[in-house]
Each structure stands twice: as C-alpha cells, then as structure tokens.
Amino acid sequence: MGNVDEKEFVQLPGKYGYGLCVEKYKNEFSIGYARKSDKGEIWKVWCFPVAKDRKPHPKMLPWKLKLGFKEQAIQYLEKLIYIIGGMK
C-alpha cells in the first residue's frame, strides 16, 4: 500500500500515473505531487529543493505547495479557479 489514500488523489492525464494529492498536517493543507503505480499504490513524489545559492538541500522533502489552514486553502483554490476560468 502506498503512502497516499486513493480518496485524496486526483490522477492527471498521461501514461505515468502522476497526479495531485491533498495533505493535511497539523491542520494545515497542502497540495502534493504523487504517482500511482501499475499495482494501484499511490506514493508521494520527493525532491531535493534548491536554495538561492543553487545548491541542493541536504534532505529530500515531499514535493508540495502549502496552502495554510482550511479557510485560507479554500480561498487560494477558489482564486486559482477564477484565474483559470478567465484565461483564454
């Protein structure tokens, strides 16, 4: 079993099973990058972030975007929907 629950994962188009997952840690929400394997297991995608000096961080971290607490996260997502809806 992967480390992401199926109900928290949205698979994106493409043949490699990549998608987005919603994470909640200490009441703060994030959108993470995840991948569904051929066996149906869903795993977070990890990375070595690069600092402003262009050197990789010494520890791998989950690839994610922190959105904040629930109300704030919803506001950010609604704003993104508004922006995407207005694009030509």
What are the structural domain ranges in the chain? 6-86
Q: Ramachandran region of residue 83, left (φ > 0), alpha (ψ -120 to 50) or beta?
A: alpha
Query: Do 36 and 13 meet the contact criterion of CB atoms below 8 Å apart?
Result: no
**Which DSSP string corresponds to 32-66?**
EEEEE-TTS-EEE-EE--B-TTSPBPSS-EE-EEE
CA-wise closest residue to 3 among 48, 33, 28: 33
DSSP 22: E
For 39-67, what is each residue's pLDDT tens digit?
999 999 999 989 888 888 889 988 999 99
The answer to whether 34 and 44 have CB atoms below 8 angstroms apart is: yes
Q: pTM surpassing 0.75? A: yes
Cβ(61)–Cβ(49) below 8 Å:
yes
pLDDT band for position 84 (50/70/90)?
A: very high
